[in-house]
Structure 1
Amino acid sequence: MSGLIEGLPDAVAIRCLARVPFFLHPKLELVSRSWQAAIHSPELFKARQEVGSSEDLLCVCAFDPENLWQLYDPLRDLWITLPVIPSKIRHLSHFGAVSTAGKLFVIGGGSDAVDPLTGDQDGSFATNEVWSYDPVVRQWAPRTSMLVPRVMFACCVLNGKIVVAGGFTSCRKSISQAEMYDPEKDVWIQMPDLHCTHNSACSGVVIGGKVHVLHKGLSTVQVLDNGGPPGWTVQESGWRQGPMAVVGGALYVMSHGFIIKQDKGERKIVGSASTRRIGFGMIGVGDDLYVIGGVIGPDRWNWDIKPLANVDILTPGSDRTTWRQASPMSRCRGTILGCTLLRI
């Protein structure tokens, strides 16, 4: 990376390039070979942190097209398409999706492509494979596999490490095993098991520096406090069932068409669904709540199913809790299979 910008030391030049938004990086590569090397260097992304130009991009994967992810830039209202995950599993779904250490991770899952003759999920009900997308080199790479294959499990990031727990394994039985992944060392470590399991999918959410694992149909949550005693504790939650997201440290649940804020045991309706749909993704981005994709129908009057690419945004803490629309997904549409934030 010599002579990046004439008349400037490379240490200064790399900080100039670090201020350029991520969506323009492919164009910067075309300037020269030295710029191309700089754009694909870890030093550039370290400099982005130092100069305060890191960006939070929304990562989304939907049912259609299969195994394709897109990034959304909320500041510029535009979508960026990533390469297809090079997994051999068709229509990978029911996986865990998180980001940490500047990378997007897609963990476990199984095939949503059902054999019409046997009813099998393309020979893969559950996998332990792990993929990471590195925005520095803009490529997917396999990482060390989980200790246990699983689908429909809780997956969260706690203090930079990935925690997975529960779900179903290859034998199609619910499991209580939990494990933790260190992205720097690329290793999985066994953790204490959940206290109980349940014959339903589970999900995870981090609130107040603690992982909360919820099973569909149960009123209790199992909590992991990394700063407290090892293992999980069982607590009554009183949380409504439905898609969940955290905005400003508070939990929001979509239940029966209403957005409910659940804070310190209190419930408050802050809005209603912008449209009637199922299979959507919901996530907090800054001070906003994003509802993404999904499908409309069928109902008693119309048996057609319409896949959506819509992105609706609500600012729950504002005086006017009205929805506004962002640009729809440019490639993905339909049921949202994975949704997370990536800081780069």
Structure 2
Amino acid sequence: MQKREKLAAMGDERVLIPGLPDDVAIDCLARVPHRFHSCLRHVSRGWRDLVTARAFFQHRDRIGAAEDLIFLVQAEDEGYGGGRVASGEGGKAAESLPPVYGVTLYNATDGEWRRSPAPVPLFAQCAAAGGKLVVAGGWDPATLEPVAEVRIHDLFSGIWRRGAPMSSPRSFFAIAAAGSTLFVAGGHDGAKNALRTAEAYDVAGDQWTPLPEMAEERDECQGAVVGTGGFMAVSGYATERQGQFGETAEWYDESGGEWRKVEGVWESGGGGGVVCGDGVRVWRVEKGGVSEYDVSGKGWRKVAAAPTECMTATAAAAARGDGGEVRVLVVGKEGEEGGNGVWVMEAGSGKWRRVEMPPGFRGFVFSAAAIRL
């Protein structure tokens, strides 16, 4: 009853829906699909205060109305690479242009696709933390230099804003979030030097804190969080070993404030795979299949074959649905022609299903994040 009273108090002490008690009105509004929430915010002050409150989304989850949202950092142009070509004029050769990247939302609950109109840096990375989508780093589309930019999308209010920048530019780095804390590590700088540096972002306080350096440089590493504050920077390579991915990972224990090396996490010299986690488990997705990592130190165990149509995985995210079941969403190159596809694996059974990407949403996907709202 206290929870209902707390939620009703968000209605600005006004009647939310005439003729209905506020607790009934809240239940009705909580069942409105997420795609209409931007409209709800404009109906009245009471509705705006209600649908932008964290407790409202917690209530949606309690009554089974929450939806699984997958955010993709995606090239707007169709095809695997996402590059553009400007037509030549006056006999001039056609000019290759860098792709335009933006943020796409795929609602895995109702199948809706939509894209934010605001562009983001090339190869920016994303993660969901503290009810916000954080888009960080990547390349400036004009100079093709790494950036330290951070953009925040408040998933409760629907507002985009600039966040405090990272301490230094980086791209192709490991990223993952635990609660309201975001971790980044590795990648490379403007001189294409692989990095050992790492930092943590307090989303609520909009503040970055440097972390101890990793033992190794790790360009093009992958990130995942396991347990409470356990952040893994997986594989990658040093500056002088360009493209030769290492087999180790480094695990940062937030409670101890130290990194420790984990052996045998990646196939030595191998690439072309992605890592994702749900905060408890970690999955590696590659052409050879999907493996789950045993955090007790026993290494990887294969849990499913990869979809036969998926030639190369480029991004993955793990979403926990109703009843606690986990679905691993994978985006990658589909077939030899180089188009893009989306597949979802039920983590319990290892069964796959293909997700239809509508026209206009088949551009290259570089990063993915999942959140339940």
TM-score bracket, shorter-length normalisation: 0.7 to 0.9
Who is 2:155 aligned against? 135
CA distance in 2, matches of 1:156, 1:322: 26
Who is 1:317 aligned against? 348
Aligned length: 315
Query: What's the CA shift for 1:175?
Result: 1.9
Tell whether 2:337 aligns with 1:270.
Answer: no
Distance verdict in 2 for CA 1:322–1:306, change over 3 Å: same
- Equivalent residues of 1:279, 1:295 under 8 A apart: no
CA distance in 1, matches of 2:126, 2:285: 20
Who is 1:117 aligned against? none
The 5 A counterparts of 1:222-261 are 222-227=250-255, 229-240=256-267, 241=270, 242-246=273-277, 249-261=280-292
Who is 1:93 aligned against? 122
Who is 1:342 aligned against? 371
CA distance in 2, matches of 1:15, 1:148: 45
User: Percent identity between the aligned chains?
Assistant: 25
TM-score by length of 2: 0.75
Who is 2:362 aligned against? 333
CA distance in 2, matches of 1:312, 1:266: 21
AA at the equivalent of 2:222: S
Query: What's the CA shift for 1:280?
Result: 3.1
Any gaps of 5 or more consecutive residues in structure 2?
Answer: 1-11, 78-99, 237-244, 321-325
AA at the equivalent of 1:265: G
Who is 1:208 aligned against? 227
Bigger shift: residues 145-154 or 288-297: 288-297
SS in 2 for 1:267: strand
Distance verdict in 2 for CA 1:256–1:47, change over 3 Å: closer
Match of 2:145 among 117, 125, 128: 125
SS in 2 for 1:277: strand
Bigger shift: residues 124-133 or 271-280: 271-280
Query: What's the CA shift for 1:340?
Result: 0.4
Distance verdict in 2 for CA 1:205–1:177, change over 3 Å: same
Any gaps of 5 or more consecutive residues in structure 1?
Answer: 114-121, 298-304
Deviations 1:173-208 (A, max 9, x none): 22211111111111111111112214x321211123
CA distance in 2, matches of 1:140, 1:78: 20
Bigger shift: residues 276-285 or 211-220: 276-285
Who is 1:307 aligned against? 339
Please report the RMSD computed on the Cα atoms of aligned residues, expressed in angstroms. 2.7
Match of 1:70 among 104, 121, 137: 104
Who is 1:48 aligned against? 57
- Equivalent residues of 1:279, 1:336 under 8 A apart: no
Distance verdict in 2 for CA 1:158–1:276, change over 3 Å: closer
TM-score by length of 1: 0.81
Distance verdict in 2 for CA 1:207–1:330, change over 3 Å: farther
The 5 A counterparts of 1:11-22 are 13-22=25-34
